[in-house]
Amino acid sequence: MSLNPDIQEKVHEEIERVIGGDRAPSLTDKARMPYTEATIMEVQRLSVVVPLSIPHMTSEKTGKSRAFLLGTPLREARPLHPEDLRDPAIWEKPNDFYPNRFLDDQGQLIKKETFIPFGIGKRVCMGEQLAKMELFLMFADS
């Protein structure tokens, strides 16, 4: 983000237009700030904070083999690999910082199924909603 002053300026303009300088951001502002939200999503896409899931272990003996004893670490079933968010088969110019990839022609936010910075399925981050709210509030207040 710091290498893209033009994007910083667009985010700043949106923050000034929606929030102004006399109050702190609120979650109700989020829906009226698609460019800021798209920028946060692009930062998340390019900067996977925790690329690995929490290690899992067996909680009881499994099968007849002694290889699966209680407490044996299991190979992680990770639904998210950092390279998934930079896959050229999914993302056009995957290494470029381009928030507009998350906006439609009218400048409204697009939710993409391939954007999964918090994982998917049973292994999705339990704090996803809280993290999204906090990211917005901190980002918009800076």
Annotated binding-site members for heme:
125
User: Which residues are known binding-site members?
Assistant: 125
**Amino acid present at 129:** Q
